[in-house]
Structure 1
């Protein structure tokens, strides 16, 4: 182990781990196969148990359907029995083919044979019960019922004797007793009673012998057939029970075997699982212990030398050169590392010697370089100061040239703008002068039209005043008419009163005053008509008075508005006169401004020419400043190159 290489040690540790892993994998696969086999066997026994329980349940369902059929005599329950038999046969066939059913094969075969026999007996039973009659109107029971009704009808129609009726009732009693108890002795009693009925019938000469005898013969034959069918049904039912009892124990044994085997195999599966878990855990612990021991031995044999060599390297890096290097005699990677550290130690000693020699040589070179750098630094300072002053001067000249050029440019632009503005102003002034002349002419025309409007307003006021006087006279006339109408109404009322008095006096005068009464009545009628006419005239006069007052008020309002319009027109006329004077003053000022604008235009042309000359001089000065700046930059570059070359020597 001491001379074993690191790679070999790692391979050894990996081999131990791989071996343990293979052992664990083998154990895992073996246990997995064992568990799968146990699970498969357990599943087979569970299936066997399920089929055996299904067979038991199916046969129980078959027996329940059989009991329901016998009790309720419903064909649906018979079909249920047949379906249950079919399902039980299918379960038997499944058990026959099951791989774990060899131990119960005899019982399975017995159940299969028993189900076949049971199905045949049950079919015979259903046939017999159908022949006997599933209800009172079917089969032999239905035939018996029809015969009974026919016999009772015949006895009633023929007015049979009391002895015949009593004998017939006894026959029916024996019939009911058999149907209730199923004992054949009641058939014997019915046969005896039938013979008694025949003897009673023979002793009654008044009864229709042939007809009653034929009906009763039909009844007794039907009773015999019904009894025979019922007895055969009882026998078939007993045979059916015997058949089931023959294979029922086999069904029980099959169910018990399936349940027991399922429990047994489940317990075996649990035990196997526990053993597998224990084996895997023990083997895993053993593998971990072995791996840990091997890893500890390999790690101790590897980490110890590495730590010792590391300590030596730390001491060498700290400056100690007298330390001994261990494990140089090993014939593996650790020995090679120790030998490399020994070589590194010798190299450090030689490097320290060469470093000291190089330090002595470097001190002399440093002194020479110091003196050279001092000379170059002094020249660099002086040259840099001179170049800085040149550069500053060039920058100032260049800046002044740029400012002059910019000022000349701005002066030219502003001069051009002023000249353009002056030209445009001249054009606008001419336009304003023309517009002012047109405004003056328009103002004069407006003044004339306003004077005309003022005259029309005054004439309208005069006309409305005349109309107002006419309306006032009309109002006075309407008032006079109203006074006259009132007077007429008073006269009519007085006349009416006088006519009433005359009528009263004529009535007092009797026959002598009758003619006077007629005249008084006519006068009264005329007075009434006059009153009504004057009332209508009064209403019309009042309407005329109302309209007259409305017209008078409207004319008064119109007069006020026209007077206000006249005042407004006068104000407009005065304002138009003032505007006309102001327009003429504006036209005079515009003509003066047009003359001054021509002078400004000529002056701006001269300024533009001077500005262009100044801009040319600024351009020349800026170009010269750029050339001087370029030469100064070249001189600075060459100086830097020279100093750099000196410093590199």
Structure 2
């Protein structure tokens, strides 16, 4: 296998990577171990703190007898249990004795059970002076005291006070000797009661209360004994033993942890020293490998650089790199030698081509001069054609403009004619409607005239009735005058009737005069309505003739508009064609200009090409081929 530079670098990089990875892994392993031991130590400390909180809750309950401390005890116990569970997991990872943790957990569970039993027993005993056995004891002694006070016996009262003293001494000191004293004083009380001269029923009642008091106190003492009269007896002693057991187990775990940590940390220190030594050795190896690699690579590169600099400085295409290698540097040297060989052949060909290029550039310059003269003549002719086309295009545009203006004027006239036709049509419709209204009004007025005639007939009847009434009233007056005094009232009525008849005749005459005037005005209105109807018919006929004339004007204007549009379209097409021809001529002219410029550029380029060929030939002479 060929040992190339790439393989050497890959091998060196892989060795460096593996070395660094190994050192990092070993350091990580050591740091994780130390972190684990610190976590175990922290967890043990937290368990100790939680256990102290449990003891504090226990003491608070014993002192204050408040159930809230039982709740706090349970909450702290949950925290303690979680930390013990965590310790069990960490102990397994740290190779500690898990049986000690299990035993400690059992001790804590027993401690919790004993505390709950202690609380329940205290509830039975009485958390307050009115609860449980304590409340029953107080009630019993109060009943006995009330009965004794009712007898007003100082001896029994003194003995009763002695019993209460024994009771309080026991409650204060938790000493069983006060129970014995209490029992002895009970017997003395019974003897004093028997020797007294009180009534039998009072003695019996007091004896019953005293027996009840004695029973309640003995039950109270028994329950206190169950709780524990001191810190080492009863439930208090049990809790104390269990918590001390847990403390001892926790201390063993702590001691074992310290031993393991001391052992492991010592090993870890040695291990870390070993890691440092291995790292130092690997570092020296890496430095040696890099030094060797730099020597293997840099020396050939330096030799190649010297050869290349000499070849560039002397423009020597005959120079070659003189070493044989199978790696990348050898391939680079061979490629450089091949490149110089190709450059050498290329320079020879370039020198030959430069001579040929010089001759061809002279020929191109002559042809470019002839082409430039021909293009100048073509440009002159196209300028004349373009001028003539421009003038023709302007004339066509003027014709198209005038035609468009005429077409626009025709369109305006057509619109005005159509508007006039519409106005004439609306006037004709209005006059026809007016004629119909006049005819209707004439009919209505004729009906009014007929009605006035009928009213005149009715007035004639009313006038005749008034005349007859007047005659009748006159006859009545005559008859009343004949009747003398008896007909005087009737004569007054007849006179009033004559007066009314006269007024009726007068009103009838006035109405008749008004009706005659109304009939005269009505006849005149009918005649004028008929004349207006005749004139409106004449106006309608004249408007119809005007509408027909306007229609002919509109048709003529439409024809003019269509013809103007055709003329405008034709002139636009001619203008477009002329414009297109003009554009093509301009393009030809521009092409001629471009050709002229190109011919000049070709001439310039041929001159430049001649100069370049001369310069290129000079450059090729600088190389050693």
- TM-score, normalised to structure 1, is 0.50
- How has the CA–CA distance of structure 1 residues 247 and 361 changed in structure 2, closer, same or farther, with 3 Å as cutoff? closer
* SS of equivalent to 1:386: helix
- How has the CA–CA distance of structure 1 residues 355 and 219 changed in structure 2, closer, same or farther, with 3 Å as cutoff? closer
Tell me the distance in 2 between the aligned counterparts of 1:85 and 1:394.
114
The 5 Å alignment of 1:201-212 reads: 201=197, 207-208=198-199, 210-212=200-202
Shift in Å, 1:168: 1.8
Is the 8 Å Cα contact of residues 312 and 325 (structure 1) preserved in structure 2? yes
Partner of residue 383 from structure 2, selected from 386, 392, 404: 392
Shift in Å, 1:300: 3.0
The 5 Å alignment of 1:368-447 reads: 369=363, 373-374=365-366, 376=367, 379-406=370-397
State the partner residue of 1:228: 218
Q: Does 1:17 find its partner at 2:5?
A: no
Q: Does 1:298 find its partner at 2:268?
A: no
Partner of residue 145 from structure 2, selected from 124, 143, 148: 148
Partner of residue 249 from structure 1, selected from 244, 253, 275: 244
Tell me the distance in 1 between the aligned counterparts of 2:375 and 2:82.
118
Shift in Å, 1:149: 1.7
* SS of equivalent to 1:253: helix
State the partner residue of 2:159: 171
State the partner residue of 2:206: 216
Q: Which runs of 5+ in 2 are unaligned?
A: 171-177, 417-566, 604-625
State the partner residue of 1:312: 307
Shift in Å, 1:301: 2.0
Is the 8 Å Cα contact of residues 317 and 343 (structure 2) preserved in structure 1? no
Tell me the distance in 1 between the aligned counterparts of 2:82 and 2:415.
122
Q: String of CA shifts for 1:49-99, please: whole Å, max 9, x gaps.
A: 544543443244234323434xxxx7x489779969997997999699975
- How has the CA–CA distance of structure 1 residues 284 and 327 changed in structure 2, closer, same or farther, with 3 Å as cutoff? farther
Tell me the distance in 1 between the aligned counterparts of 2:49 and 2:270.
32
State the partner residue of 2:168: 180
Q: String of CA shifts for 1:518-569, please: whole Å, max 9, x gaps.
A: xxxxxxxxxxxxxxxxxxxxxxxxxxxxxxxxxxxxxxxxxxxxxxxxxxxx
Tell me the distance in 1 between the aligned counterparts of 2:69 and 2:407.
128
Tell me the distance in 2 between the aligned counterparts of 1:308 and 1:90.
78
- How has the CA–CA distance of structure 1 residues 243 and 135 changed in structure 2, closer, same or farther, with 3 Å as cutoff? closer
Shift in Å, 1:146: 1.6
When Rg is computed on C-alpha atoms for both structures, the one with the higher figure is 1
- How has the CA–CA distance of structure 1 residues 419 and 315 changed in structure 2, closer, same or farther, with 3 Å as cutoff? same
Count of residue pairs the alignment pairs up: 428
Q: String of CA shifts for 1:583-615, please: whole Å, max 9, x gaps.
A: xxxxxxxxxxxxxxxxxxxxxxxxxxxxx9xx9
Shift in Å, 1:220: 3.5
Shift in Å, 1:218: 1.7
Q: String of CA shifts for 1:363-392, please: whole Å, max 9, x gaps.
A: 55555x26xx43x45544543443343333
Is the 8 Å Cα contact of residues 117 and 243 (structure 1) preserved in structure 2? yes
Tell me the distance in 2 between the aligned counterparts of 1:53 and 1:192.
54
Is the 8 Å Cα contact of residues 84 and 101 (structure 2) preserved in structure 1? no
The 5 Å alignment of 1:19-418 reads: 19-33=15-29, 35-36=31-32, 39-40=35-36, 42-44=38-40, 46-69=42-65, 76=67, 100-103=97-100, 134=131, 138-153=135-150, 155=151, 165-182=153-170, 183=178, 184-201=180-197, 207-208=198-199, 210-233=200-223, 235-236=225-226, 237-238=228-229, 239-240=233-234, 241-258=236-253, 286-321=281-316, 325-349=320-344, 351-353=346-348, 355-360=350-355, 365=360, 369=363, 373-374=365-366, 376=367, 379-406=370-397
Shift in Å, 1:229: 3.4
Tell me the distance in 2 between the aligned counterparts of 1:342 and 1:217.
137
Tell me the distance in 2 between the aligned counterparts of 1:423 and 1:89.
109
Q: String of CA shifts for 1:495-539, please: whole Å, max 9, x gaps.
A: xxxxxxxxxxxxxxxxxxxxxxxxxxxxxxxxxxxxxxxxxxxxx
Tell me the distance in 2 between the aligned counterparts of 1:93 and 1:363.
102
Tell me the distance in 1 between the aligned counterparts of 2:6 and 2:411.
101
Shift in Å, 1:278: 6.7
Is the 8 Å Cα contact of residues 45 and 262 (structure 1) preserved in structure 2? yes
Is the 8 Å Cα contact of residues 24 and 283 (structure 1) preserved in structure 2? no
Tell me the distance in 2 between the aligned counterparts of 1:295 and 1:251.
62
Q: Which runs of 5+ in 1 are unaligned?
A: 157-164, 202-206, 426-611
* SS of equivalent to 2:4: helix
Is the 8 Å Cα contact of residues 163 and 186 (structure 2) preserved in structure 1? yes
Is the 8 Å Cα contact of residues 123 and 132 (structure 2) preserved in structure 1? no
* SS of equivalent to 1:321: coil
Is the 8 Å Cα contact of residues 326 and 338 (structure 1) preserved in structure 2? yes
State the partner residue of 1:594: none
Tell me the distance in 2 between the aligned counterparts of 1:185 and 1:268.
63
Shift in Å, 1:18: 1.4
- How has the CA–CA distance of structure 1 residues 11 and 177 changed in structure 2, closer, same or farther, with 3 Å as cutoff? same
Tell me the distance in 1 between the aligned counterparts of 2:72 and 2:371.
128
Shift in Å, 1:15: 1.7
- TM-score, normalised to structure 2, is 0.51
- How has the CA–CA distance of structure 1 residues 394 and 249 changed in structure 2, closer, same or farther, with 3 Å as cutoff? closer
* SS of equivalent to 1:138: helix
Shift in Å, 1:302: 2.0
- How has the CA–CA distance of structure 1 residues 359 and 10 changed in structure 2, closer, same or farther, with 3 Å as cutoff? closer
Is the 8 Å Cα contact of residues 330 and 336 (structure 1) preserved in structure 2? yes
- How has the CA–CA distance of structure 1 residues 406 and 167 changed in structure 2, closer, same or farther, with 3 Å as cutoff? closer
